[in-house]
């Protein structure tokens, strides 16, 4: 098939993703004009750096695993040559490359637009819900703040460092899953379901709902002048960071400096609902359909992220509960759409 036709077909199949990306960019332009908020280029550079590291690490891990398997398990006489052969086929696979280029273009455009929207949330609707969410947390957890059930973990420097490590691992899993999904040769309904759900979670939950229920999170509770109910948590994290790194603290400082104008740009502060938890549940739902065992590990990972979001001071527990529910709802709704779309496409290619 000619290259032009391959890309035309890929564009047709990705029309839903492209529409969402264009819509997001359009909303971002309107919001930017209203709030004078622009994309945080420092944040973009940081994101690009992490993205490069993530791709390098994932590629290195895959290469190491494959080469070791070929050499020690398959006993291949030339493991490097055998490893490189499918890599060449992969790069010369027209439909796969078309899917990758179009899919990544849509995701990249979407992320650029969302970056502007995220930074504008507090400008569109200043933080109003922190006290309410904190009170809801107390009501749901028998009169105690959720993190108070985890003092043993918060005051254990090694343990809280490991939790933070898992929390940062979320980024690598997100990038890895996106790369695996967009690079798929066949545009299966599950692929479309994942990519569209991913974008919908960020846009619907991460912007529209987050703007209505604008909140900053426990780590900024005292900075906002709302009281010191989370001061023991933040002090404990600071003590733990003296012996083991707690990367969340420096990231929180960076976000606050952006919010207050101490540094140019602002990646944006928003707590409700938790996109970390929502996307972790999405990983679990997706991998449960692809590989059951991987799905089990992803559900465990989602639980760790839920706990981490609370003990690291990022979120109220209700943020995570809501994020998980929204992820499931969006996944199911998008699933109905992609299955129907696949049925229409299949029917259209059947002989008369």
Name the pTM for this structure. Answer: 0.86
pLDDT recorded at residue 48: 67
Instruction: Tell me the DSSP string of 2-47.
Output: -HHHHHHHHHHHTHHHHHHHHHHHHHHHHHHHHH-----HHHHHHH
pLDDT recorded at residue 39: 61
Residues of the chain with pLDDT below 70 are 1-3, 6-7, 38-48, 50-51, 86-95, 185-187, 263-267, 342-352
Distances (CA, A) of 259 to 13, 29, 84, 256, 342: 39, 20, 47, 5, 44
pLDDT recorded at residue 232: 96
CA 100 to chain centre: 19
Contact indicator for 146, 310 with CB cutoff of 8 Å = yes
Tens-digit pLDDT profile for residues 101-132: 888 888 888 888 888 898 889 889 999 999 99
Distances (CA, A) of 200 to 2, 64, 125, 192: 33, 35, 21, 12
pLDDT recorded at residue 16: 84
pLDDT recorded at residue 277: 98
pLDDT recorded at residue 91: 63
């Amino acid at each position: 098939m000619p290259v032009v036709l391959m890309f035309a077909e890929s564009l047709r199949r990705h029309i839903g993703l492209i529409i969402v990306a264009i819509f997001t960019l359009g909303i971002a332009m309107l919001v930017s004009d209203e709030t004078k908020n622009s994309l945080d280029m420092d944040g973009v550079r940081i994101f690009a750096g992490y993205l490069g590291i993530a791709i390098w690490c994932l590629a290195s891990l895959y290469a190491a695993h494959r080469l070791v398997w070929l050499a020690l398990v398959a006993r291949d006489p030339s493991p490097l040559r055998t490893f490189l052969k499918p890599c060449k086929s992969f790069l010369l696979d027209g439909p796969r490359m078309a899917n990758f280029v179009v899919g990544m273009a849509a995701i990249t455009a979407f992320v650029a637009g969302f970056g502007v929207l995220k930074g504008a949330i507090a400008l569109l609707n200043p933080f109003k819900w922190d006290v309410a969410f904190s009170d809801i947390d107390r009501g749901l957890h028998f009169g105690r703040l959720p993190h108070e059930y985890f003092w043993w973990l918060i005051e254990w420097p090694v343990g809280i460092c490991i939790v933070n490590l898992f929390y940062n691992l979320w980024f690598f899993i997100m990038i890895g899953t996106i790369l695996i999904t967009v690079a798929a040769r066949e545009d299966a309904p599950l692929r479309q379901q994942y990519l569209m759900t991913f974008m919908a979670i960020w846009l619907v939950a991460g912007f529209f709902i987050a703007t209505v229920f604008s909140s900053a999170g426990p780590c900024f509770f005292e900075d906002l002048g709302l009281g010191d109910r989370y001061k023991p948590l933040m002090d404990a994290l600071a003590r733990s960071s003296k012996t083991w790194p707690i990367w969340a603290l420096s990231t929180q400082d960076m976000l606050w400096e952006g919010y207050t104008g101490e540094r140019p740009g602002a990646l944006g502060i928003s707590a409700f609902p938790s996109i970390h938890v929502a996307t972790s549940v999405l990983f679990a739902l997706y991998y449960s359909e692809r590989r059951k065992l991987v799905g089990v590990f992803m559900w465990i990972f989602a639980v760790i992220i839920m706990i981490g979001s609370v003990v690291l001071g990022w979120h109220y527990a209700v943020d995570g509960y809501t994020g998980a529910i929204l992820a499931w709802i969006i996944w199911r709704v998008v699933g109905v759409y992609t299955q129907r779309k696949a049925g229409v496409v299949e029917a259209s290619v059947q002989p008369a």
